Structure 1
Amino acid sequence: MALGARLEVRQGQGLVITPQLQQAIKLLQLTHVELEAYVETELERNPLLVREDVDPEVDAADPDPRNEEVFAADRIPESGAGPDLDISLEAEASPGERATGDLSLGEEAGGAVDWSRVGSGGSGLEGDEDLSQRLPEARTLREHLAEQLAMAGLEGARQAAALVLIDSVDESGYLRCDMEETAERLACDPPFLDSVLGVLQGFEPTGVFARDLRECLYLQLKERNRCDPAMIALLDHLDLLARRDLAALRRVCGVDDEDLRDMISEIRALTPRPGIAFGGEPLSPVTPDVIVREGSGGLWNIELNSDTLPRLLVDRRYFARVSAGARTEAEKIFVADCYSQANWLVRCLDQRARTILKVASEVVRQQDGFLAFGVSHLRPLNLRTIADAIGMHESTVSRVTSNKYISTPRGVFELKFFFTAAIAATHGGEAHSAESVRHRIRQLIEAERPGHDVHSDDRIVEILKDSGVDIARRTVAKYREAMRIPSSTERRRLMAVAG
């Protein structure tokens, strides 16, 4: 067969993501801290952008600097706004104002902004410099703990409670929250929260989630299998060690001088601040992006936190003046480009705010049981459910819920907190929350008594299926191991020894 060069014309379709659309996608997924840094950069680069609280230069005869001369965030210019995004803006609130909505049946809070048109891929886009490249690359302790949580097998209410405890860990690795108050805030039993903490205290670095120095050292010694009675006595009298009262330590520990020296050497080899090795700045209070308050008649009032929303204006008067003074073609192109980009940025900020409000409103509607009754009433929820309900793409919901926080009467949570796994029901019934299934498994095992049959994993599967839960044996085994419950063989042996 002869080889040769030839020309062909082919017709095809493809998605072209312009720099403006890349900017829109990036703005949607930025945290409010990253967004503020991005806006500061744009303010320095674009002379036509000003903050709303800084009045642009106006004539003294004009009492209103925004009277047809300054384009605010709540207005869309008739021309010069850049490429047509073909996105309808139905709400009237601007990102500089508090857009609110009472969530009730048949009503939506916020505007309908369909960001699915601007792309459905991941966050890695070529073109503009990624803002994340200017942020510290060191992994924080919270990120390290969150990665381990994803592999711990906790689901439903247990995973939700674990996220709350992770948010309460300081930069040294210590748990800085009152367990009873946290259990009351989540409307769960203290033993339930203690069991979740027991799982988290098995995370790396060893000693993390300790509530004081003694517990931190105890967790590290326990991992080394060195928690004998003498060492426990030493941990109970760390004040004597701090005063170097060795004689008193020998008496309370019941050891001689050589053993005491060895024990002290072991203590000194431990890490009193296990989380300090991780990067990141000291933890600061989270600023919520959305605020939820209880309204009348069982409704929830939802509003954007205006403190996290940049308020920008486009100085149209300054644009008119500099464009009139532009002489060369390059100057005219530069001024027109700045004006177009400024309008586009203000429009994108407006759409970002409305999209966050719309997603958060649907999340609250789906999880109103949690807000009213606590963590045990979390419903099974995934990104697709929210996306279908509000008519957006699943990737858009994923971007909105990542690193965005919502303040509720039960505390401040990341939006990801409200997404829990589901267990299918038999005979096509309503799905069960994974946490409710785990609770049922624990109840079955705790009800076992010596002299009676110990439930194997297969038997638990049969019992659950009889009650309408369609679950696999390996899933039961995974849940049981995550709750640190021994197998049926080990439980039977322990009962025999105890009896």
Structure 2
Amino acid sequence: MALSPKLDLRQTQALVMTPLLMQSIRLLQLTHVELEQFIEQEIEKNPLLERAETNDEHFSLSEQGFGADRNSSDDGEFGRSTMSGDLDAEGNRSSEPGDHWLESGEITSSGSMSDTFDSSLENIFPDDPGTHDFIAGDLASQWKSSSGDGYVSSGGEGFNLEQVTASPVTIRDHVGEQILFAFEKATDRLIAAELADHLDEMGYLRADVAEIAERLGVEAAHIEKLITVMQGFEPAGLFARDLAECLAIQLCAKNRLDPPMKILLQHLELLAKRDFHSLKKLCGATDADILDMLQEIQLLDPKPGTAFSSGVADSIIPDVQVDLGSDGTWRIELNPSALPRVLVNNHYFATVSKAKASAADKIFLNDCLQNANWLTRSLDQRAQTILKVASEIVRQQEQFLLHGVAHLRPLNLRNVADAIGMHESTVSRVTANKYMLTKRGVFELRYFFNAAIAATEGGEQHSSQSVRHQIKRLIDAEKPDDILSDDTIVDLLKGQGVDIARRTVAKYREAMNIASSVQRRREKKAQASVRKADEKSRADVA
């Protein structure tokens, strides 16, 4: 059989991930802070993009049977005017009469007014913002607030806040200040600085004293004396080697480190198990004393160094606002403060296009216009998708919004994706790091997605979050003489129609930081005995 070239036509389907499509997908999963940073970078690169100064309009969805009331533009695009827009034909936004009074040609400068009225304004208004105070050259070079020409402007335009704001104090800086006052000898200060470098983020000393002593050529006993002194630094608990020593330092600062407390700190594992019977024997104390010491320990800070952590938590800005209208329908709106407002300056593009420019400049300008239009469309599409997913979540979790967490329904990404006609991955990106403001608080959109717990006798399934709530409510209502074990909780939940395994109850209980039934029984029995002793003492006094 001879080989020969030939033409063949085939029809196939393929999903092509273009760079613009990948960028649009990336915009969906950006948080509010990340989106603002991305837009700032685009505005810096693209001369056709700029921020809208004021825009009070916002996306809204007012539901009557979950019908949509949307702000639409003439071309059918959803809410186009709220997210992006174009400047007018003259390149300016509309303004009220009198907005440009500075350009009216009136005499406003102090010099021209002085010539006109034959008088100096400096004699009448010595603090006139237009004046400058002269500073000698040697002082002008030393003051950051002064300009380089030896004048200080009394206006605030050239004020640089970054030059005067203090940098965050680290734990190393805080300890270094105390070292200067705690030690007189330079060698002790150097050793103390070396020890301070071995503090971890919690304030614990993670250093080998013998290794440091050998490396610095000093005795280990001398380093231990320095550590004892440094353990008196503020905040109390720094330079401890373990949790027990950290708590002991803080109790010593409060003058509460008595012999029973020392013994209790040496047996923290028994305290964690709430083994009050063994602790009473070891400490020679009563139930009331053990409970008092437990309360004091709970008030201490096990990680004193975290107060100097440099991490900054981003403030949560809800992307969606949900409110129940007076007619009983849900009103779902995108938060106006979370919507980036971007304009495309078509007037500037038209002006520059008419001017003589090279081919490279025209190509650059066309690319900028294409990218600007793509960004505005992508922001509009992002807003539509968030609103569509949020409205479906509200429809599915309406009982939670009305009655609380006990009525939270099981929900997964596929349910929402099928209801709104989108892919699961799109819903996953939309719900990541997006927040909804309701009358019950601010919730991440992922909060409304819960695993399903089977119901007994084929009833309606329960969400895992509502089951956790029921477990916590049962434990909070238990009596000291009737502590509920995990098996008992399983039986009670099955009586309420929840088919759940014992290991699942234990997993949920541990996730909520609730002690086991044995530990709760010991603690509540000790509390009951203390209450009885108090009642008896009051009765004897009466």
What's the TM-score once normalised by structure 1's chain length?
A: 0.53
What letter corresponds to residue 429 of structure 2 in structure 1? R
Give 1:343's aligned residue.
Answer: 373
Q: Quick one: distance in 2 between partners of 1:303 and 1:454?
A: 44
State the 1:345 CA deviation: 1.0
Distance 1:32 1:489, change over 3 A: closer
Is the partner of 1:347 in helix, strand or coil?
Answer: helix
| Separation of aligned partners in 1, 2:324 and 2:301 | 51
Within the alignment, does 1:304 sit opposite 2:304 as a pair? no
Per the alignment, in what secondary structure is the counterpart of residue 430 of structure 1? Answer: coil
Match for residue 107 of structure 1?
A: 67
Cα pair distance change 1:111/1:367, threshold 3 Å: farther
Looking at structure 2, the residues matched to 96 and 7 of structure 1 have their Cα atoms a distance apart, in angstroms, of 64
Give the number of the structure with larger relative contact order, counting CA–CA contacts within 8 Å between residues 6 or more apart. Answer: 1
Deviation at 1:16, TM superposition (A): 1.5
CA contact (8 A) 2:59 2:71 kept: no
Point out the more displaced range, 20-29 or 372-381.
Answer: 372-381
Give the partner amino acid of 2:354: A
Match of 1:165 in 2: none
Q: CA 1:341 to 1:449, structure 2 compared with 1: closer, same or farther past 3 Å?
A: closer
Counterpart secondary structure, 2:385: helix
RMSD over aligned Cα, in angstroms?
4.9
Matches within 5 A, 1:58-457: 97-108=57-68, 224=243, 235=251, 241=254, 249=255, 254=258, 271-274=303-306, 276-277=308-309, 280-281=311-312, 283=313, 285-325=315-355, 328-441=358-471, 457=487
Q: What is the aligned length?
A: 332
Q: Which amino acid is 1:104 matched to?
A: Q
Tell me the CA shift for residue 51 of structure 1: 2.6
Q: CA distance change for structure 1 residues 368 and 269 in 2, over 3 Å: closer, same or farther?
A: closer
The residue that corresponds to 1:23 in the other structure is 23
Change (3 A) 1:46 1:427: same
Cα 1:98–1:321, aligned 2, differ >3 Å: closer, same or farther?
same
The structure-2 alpha-carbon separation of the partners of 1:444 and 1:409, relative to structure 1 and needing over 3 Å to count, comes to closer
Unpaired runs of 5+ residues, structure 1, are 1-5, 55-94, 115-170, 173-203, 208-215, 242-248
- 2:306 is matched by which residue type in structure 1? P
Q: Is the 8 A contact 1:110 1:358 kept in 2?
A: no
CA contact (8 A) 1:48 1:338 kept: yes
Shift of residue 407, structure 1, vs aligned partner: 2.2
Query: Identity, % of aligned pairs?
Result: 51
> Please, which of 488, 492, 504 is the counterpart of residue 475 of structure 1?
504
C-alpha spacing 1:217/1:440, structure 2 compared with 1 (3 Å)? farther
State the Cα deviation string for residues 340-384 of structure 1 (Å, max 9, x = none). Answer: 211111111111112112222222233333333333333322222
- Contact 1:379 / 1:433 at 8 angstroms: preserved in 2? yes
SS of residue in 2 equivalent to 1:412? strand
Structure 2 residue matching 1:302: 3-state secondary structure: strand
- Counterpart Cα distance in 2 of 1:440 and 1:448: 16
Compared CA separation, residues 335 and 108, structure 1 to 2 (3 A): same
Are positions 1:14 and 2:44 aligned together?
Answer: no
Structure 1 residues 471 and 23, CA gap change in structure 2 (3 angstroms)? same
- The CA distance in 2 between the partners of 1:399 and 1:330, in whole Å, is 38
**Is the contact between residue 99 and residue 110 of structure 1 (CA under 8 Å) also seen in structure 2?**
yes
8 Å contact from structure 2 (residues 318, 442) kept in 1: yes
Deviations 1:372-398 (A, max 9, x none): 333333332222222222222221122
Amino acid at match of 1:18: T
CA distance in 1, matches of 2:301, 2:495: 54
Per-residue deviation at 1:439? 5.0
Whole-angstrom CA distance in 1 between matches of 2:424 and 2:406: 26
Q: In 2, distance between residues paired with 1:454 and 1:409?
A: 33
Question: TM-score with structure 2 length normalisation?
Answer: 0.49
Q: Structure 2: 5+ residue runs without aligned partners? A: 78-168, 171-200, 205-234, 267-298, 530-542
Contact 1:424 1:470 in 2 (8 A): yes
C-alpha distance 15-206 of structure 1, shift in aligned 2 (>3 A): farther
Q: Which residue of 1 aligns with 2:120?
A: none
Q: CA deviation at 1:481?
A: 4.1
Structure 1 pair 272–47 and aligned structure 2 pair: CA distance change class (3 A):
same
CA distance 1:348–1:376, change in 2 (3 Å): same
**1:470/1:26 CA distance change after superposition, 3 Å:** same
SS in 2 for 1:360: helix
CA deviation after TM superposition for structure 1 residue 434, in Å: 2.1
Secondary structure of the 1:356 match is helix
Whether the 8 Å contact between 1:96 and 1:309 is mirrored in structure 2 is no
Contact 2:65 2:329 in 1 (8 A): no
The 1:441–1:329 alpha-carbon spacing in structure 2 relative to 1, beyond 3 Å, is closer
Q: CA deviation at 1:469?
A: 2.5
